[in-house]
């Protein structure tokens, strides 16, 4: 499968023709249910790796390596790569693809055939997550990794442009919602560029964008992360209502919601889309202080 290069140690990134040839050889028909749109442009791969700021020797986790387009770029930059792939055929083929196209880097790759949503501990502690995420599970996968992989300091992911907007939205903006508030618990998020549809095979029917997240400490709160997230879920479940009304079930009654909002210093007539993560944390803290810690809605993501 490998053709001799001028420099036999050089990495040969995947191109449009090699992606198709590899897929055909493996009998892969990209599926929508697994968000399988593969990057076919080496220039885009190098742009993602450069934008991510990957450093030689650091441990990077990639979710959904697919045929290896981005994996090869991460290895080319000198990273140790943990690649988590749910599709057993793709996971099984990745090692050989890398051995053929980046032989000098093959020992820096660890392939993990698993669902990123349920993976738990990784064999090493990654400091960076870089991925072209499967679009249908991008937000839950991202939040799961930020929660479970505490060593992660920075993230650069390609997601659907609309999801990138939501993740990076500040309070008060039209796109601010549950993903923005929950991501803000872990990290600051910013859009980091747009990606043309034409660099994928098959071409998706949505636009894509890069988002960068930099980990920071969560805001101070007497409530647990689960309790804060339950408060966020409740506030946005009825986003057009005032918080006094939207949080009535979460708090026990509209009166109790009003009391907790006042304890947290929040106007009961405001809406959830106005609250930043520190205010959600203060509100969940107020509930803990006034009503105790048990949260019937706790544990949601
Ligand atoms: N990184 C490759 C690229 O850029 O060409 C492929 C990206 S493709 C958008 C998403 C990949 O994620 C696919 O390979 C798919 O099989 C994989 N995937 C989907 N759901 C997954 C999950 N829950 N856990 C791990 N991998 C998943």
Q: What is the mean pLDDT of residues 218-237?
A: 96
Atom of ligand 1 nearest to the CA of 64: 12
Q: Name all domains of the chain by residue range, CATH numbers in brackets.
A: 16-215 (3.40.50.150), 225-291 (1.10.8.100)
> What are the DSSP E strand ranges found in the chain?
38-39, 59-63, 80-85, 109-113, 128-132, 154-160, 187-195, 200-201, 208-215
Residue nearest atom 18 in ligand 1 by C-alpha distance: 64
Distance, in Å, from the CA atom of 186 to the CA atom of 55, rounded to the nearest integer, reads 22
Is this prediction's pTM over 0.85? yes
Locate the ligand 1 atom nearest the alpha carbon of residue 131 and give its number.
1
What count of other Cβ atoms lies within 10 Å of the Cβ of residue 145?
Answer: 24
Ligand 1 centroid distance, CA of 215 (Å): 23
Which whole number is the average pLDDT over 63-80?
98
Of ligand 1's listed atoms, the one at least distance from the Cα of 38 is: 5
Nearest C-alpha to atom 21 of ligand 1 is from which residue? 86
Nearest to 230 by CA among 172, 171, 297, 285: 297
In degrees rounded to 5, what are phi and psi of residue 138? -60, -50
Which residues form the pocket of ligand 1, taking CB atoms under 6 Å from any ligand atom?
34-39, 63-66, 69-70, 84-87, 90, 115-117, 132, 134, 137
- Percentage of the chain with pLDDT > 70? 94
Residue whose CA is at the smallest distance from ligand 1 atom 19: 34
pLDDT of residue 277: 98
Determine the pLDDT at residue 11. Answer: 87
Report pLDDT digits (tens) over 119-144: 999 999 999 999 999 999 999 999 99
* pLDDT tens profile 135-179: 999 999 999 999 999 999 999 999 999 999 999 999 999 999 999
Ligand 1 midpoint to CA 35 (Å): 6
246 contacts 254 by C-beta, under 8 angstroms: no
Residue corresponding to tokens 């929950």? 182
Q: Is the pLDDT of residue 4 over 70?
A: no
Q: What is the pLDDT of residue 210?
A: 98
Q: How many angstroms separate the alpha carbon of residue 63 from the centre of ligand 1?
A: 6
Give the closest residue (by CA) to ligand 1 atom 8: 36
Query: In the block, which residue shows the tokens 């690649």?
Result: 83
Pocket test for ligand 1, best of 66, 140, 148, 195 (most atoms within 8 A of CB): 66
Which is the closest atom of ligand 1 to the Cα of 200? 5
Among protein residues, the one whose CA lies closest to atom 3 of ligand 1? 38
Quote the ligand 1 centre to 64 CA distance (angstroms): 3
Give the model's pLDDT for residue 180.
Answer: 98
- Rg (C-alpha) for the chain, rounded Å, is 22
């Amino acid at each position: 499968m490998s053709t001799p290069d001028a420099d036999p140690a050089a990495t040969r990134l995947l191109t449009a023709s090699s992606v198709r040839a590899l897929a055909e050889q493996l009998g892969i028909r990209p599926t929508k249910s697994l968000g399988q749109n593969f990057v076919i442009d080496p220039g885009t791969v190098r742009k993602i790796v450069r934008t991510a700021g990957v450093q030689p020797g650091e441990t990077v986790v990639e979710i959904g390596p697919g045929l290896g387009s981005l994996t090869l770029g991460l290895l080319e930059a000198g990273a140790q790569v943990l690649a988590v792939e749910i599709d057993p055929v793709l996971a099984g083929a990745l090692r050989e693809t890398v051995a053929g196209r980046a032989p000098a880097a093959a020992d820096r790759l660890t392939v993990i055939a698993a669902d990123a949503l349920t993976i738990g501990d990784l064999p090493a502690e990654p400091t960076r997550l870089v991925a072209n995420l499967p679009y249908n599970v991008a937000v839950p996968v991202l939040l799961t990794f930020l929660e479970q992989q505490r060593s992660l300091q920075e993230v650069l992911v390609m997601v659907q442009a609309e999801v990138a907007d939501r993740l990076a939205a500040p309070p008060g903006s039209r796109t601010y919602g549950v993903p923005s508030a929950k991501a803000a618990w872990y990290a600051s998020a910013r859009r980091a560029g747009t990606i043309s549809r034409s660099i994928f095979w098959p071409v998706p029917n949505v636009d894509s964008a890069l988002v960068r997240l930099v980990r920071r400490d969560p805001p101070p709160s007497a409530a647990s992360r689960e309790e804060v997230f339950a408060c966020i879920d409740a506030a946005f479940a009825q986003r057009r209502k005032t918080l006094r009304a939207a949080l009535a079930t979460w708090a026990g009654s509209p009166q109790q919601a009003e009391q907790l909002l006042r304890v947290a210093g929040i106007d009961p007539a405001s809406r959830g889309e106005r609250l930043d993560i520190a205010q959600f944390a203060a509100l969940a803290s107020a509930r803990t202080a006034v009503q105790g810690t048990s949260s019937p809605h706790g544990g949601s993501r």
